[in-house]
Amino acid sequence: MIDTDILLRAYRLMCTAKAMAGTYEDNRPICKYVHSTSRGHEAIQLATAFHLLPCDYVSPYYRDESLLLGLGFSPYELMLQLLAKGNDIFTGGREYYSHPNYRGADKPNIIHQSSATGMQAIPTTGIAQGIKYLEKINSPLLNKTDINNTGIATGQLPTANCPLPIVICSLGDASVTEGEVSESFQFAALHQLPIIYLVQDNGWGISVTSEEARTCNANEMVKGF
Ligand SMILES: Cc1ncc(C[n+]2csc(CCOP(=O)(O)OP(=O)(O)O)c2C)c(N)n1
Ligand SMILES: [Mg+2]
């Protein structure tokens, strides 16, 4: 049973995402840069965000606006990137909307995003490879999250309160047809890396339907691995 406080937090953020999408649509002449909203994807994105700890790594894609809200970024912070403002916290207004990067003790780490779809797969899989290596040599460099203090902790071994980091690579269904993504899946399965590929399957890649673009979905594809 999910705690009522968590459900209320999620519902408020879903309403926030809906209001933001409506605001962008209503102000097309101002929001003239490319933006995709998280409409219809809110629940999975918020559920993902709520599970993440500051020691974790996440590579969201351009549709993961609700995930960013769930991590604690504010609508104002996100809109600074939408409007290409110099004080955008991610890239100083040099990237499309919802292309974040972040390195701080309070939230999971986000590496820089490319605007080419699926390109986060290989570098993000590389993070998982690095984490596995640090685990293997029991390195003090491996950051963990002290759940009681909700801060970063370093130390030799994971404990119940200091779990090991996890990596999330978020993808759309159409990007999974790309070679880079296949290469990442192969490598992660082969080396059993600590990564979750979150594929948000909305049946579309812009104007191309899933039937026009692929023979199977991501789940059916990875069963072969
Ligand atoms: C390498 C590359 N090819 C094409 C594009 C143009 N493009 C942007 S979004 C997109 C569709 C991606 O669909 P999907 O991965 O299913 O994500 P969705 O938008 O449906 O969530 C395409 C083809 C791109 N950005 N990068
Ligand atoms: Mg899609």
**Which pTM does this prediction carry?**
0.94
What is the spatial distance between Cα 51 and Cα 4, in angstroms, rounded to a whole number?
Answer: 16
Domain count, the chain: 1
**Structure-block tokens of residue 202:** 């909305």
Q: Atom 14 of ligand 1 has which residue's CA nearest to it? A: 172
pLDDT, tens digit, for every residue of 161-186? 677 899 999 999 999 999 999 999 99
Q: What is the CATH number of the domain that holds 185?
A: 3.40.50.970
Give the helix ranges, DSSP H, for 87-171: 121-136
Calculate how far, in angstroms, residue 138's C-alpha sits from the geometric centre of ligand 2.
Answer: 39
| Residue nearest (by alpha carbon) to ligand 1 atom 11 | 205
Q: Where are the alpha helices (DSSP H) in the chain?
A: 4-26, 42-51, 65-71, 75-82, 121-136, 179-191, 210-213, 218-223
> What is the extent of the structural domain holding 178?
4-223
Q: What pLDDT digit, counting tens, does each position of 39-54 carry?
A: 999 999 999 999 999 8
> What mean pLDDT comes out for the span 63-85?
97
Per residue in 118-145, pLDDT (tens digit) is 999 999 999 999 999 999 998 888 887 7
CA distance 48 to 51: 5
